[in-house]
Structure 1
Amino acid sequence: MRHMKTGRKLNRFSDHRRAMFRNMATELLRHGRIRTTIPKAKELRRFVEPLITKAKRGDLSARRQVIREIHDLDVVRRLFDDIAPRYAERNGGYTRILKLAERRRGDGTQLCIIELVE
């Protein structure tokens, strides 16, 4: 039974899953939107939104906690200087998932766009 076990495994080992979400979060924060599958986007939302909430605090401890997850210092700087002040008045809900009509060519998986809300 999976009592108290949250999150999707996505057919990956935990280290691979953590690395994948770190890479996806880095690209989402760098570009503002990325294209991926729906289950990955839903899990990425659970990964990125706490990082933005920590960045809104703006102190050194929050910066170190974010650097622990996002290893690109340019992206961390952009998160603290540009993205976090944009959401100063907003309490959560920083991302939006838009389902696309097209499907992935290889396996027919439904695709979506996850983007930062303006």
Structure 2
Amino acid sequence: MRHRNKTAKLKRTADQRRALLANLACSLIEHGRIRTTLAKAKALRPLAEKLVTLGKRGDLHARRQAVAFLRHKDVAKKLFDEVAPAAKDRPGGYCRITKLGARMTDSAPMAIIEWVDLPGLDEADEAPVAVAEESPAVEEAPEKPAAKKAAKKKAAPKAEAEEETSEAGEVK
């Protein structure tokens, strides 16, 4: 039974697990979004949210605690300067986990963990949606591959002939 066993061990010793989660947290802070296994994302979320809470506090002791966990001063600086101010009005729930499905090689469930309030990520999410809305409602039947190859062959000689005439025009 797993009563009162909250920590996911991830098949690692305590030191290896702490190092793994610190590296995942650094990557999340640095990039804003990472793709990892679902178990690692679920283990990372509480730690990342505690780091944002430290960032919102912003005092010297909180900075030292963040650097002690992350072991990278530049990543801790980004946490306090960019990530925490973006989440200043949110009382909690700073991370979002989106399930992706199984990985091709070993069928491990994959997920994306990202910040909810980070401004740079919203623009990237909206671009594919805008492209999807512009697509025509009625889809045409796709061309056969043989027809596409024939069309390319016909277009290629015309393009070469136009290049030769333009070169000949420059020489004269």
What TM-score bracket applies, with the shorter chain setting the length? over 0.9
Determine if the alignment matches structure 1 residue 32 to structure 2 residue 40. Answer: no
Q: How many residues align?
A: 117
Q: In proportion to residue count, which structure has more helix?
A: 2
Q: Structure 2 matches for 1:1-118, cutoff 5 A?
A: 2-101=2-101, 103-118=102-117
Cα RMSD of the aligned pairs, angstroms, is: 1.2
1:47 deviates by 1.2
Whole-Å Cα distance in 1 between the matches of residues 31 and 66 of structure 2? 18
Segments of 4+ moved more than 2 angstroms: 1-5
Whole-Å Cα distance in 1 between the matches of residues 7 and 58 of structure 2? 28
Indicate the structure whose relative CO is greater, using CA pairs within 8 Å and at least 6 residues apart: 1
Give the TM-score normalised by structure 1: 0.93
Whole-Å Cα distance in 1 between the matches of residues 92 and 39 of structure 2? 20
Whole-Å Cα distance in 1 between the matches of residues 76 and 55 of structure 2? 9
1:2 deviates by 4.2
Give the TM-score normalised by structure 2: 0.65
Can you give the 5+ residue segments of structure 1 that lack an aligned partner in the other structure?
A: none
Whole-Å Cα distance in 2 between the matches of residues 78 and 65 of structure 1? 15
Q: In proportion to residue count, which structure has more strand?
A: 1
**SS state at 1:4 partner:** coil
Can you give the 5+ residue segments of structure 2 that lack an aligned partner in the other structure?
A: 118-172
- Read off the aligned partner of 1:114 and give its amino acid letter: I
1:61 deviates by 0.6
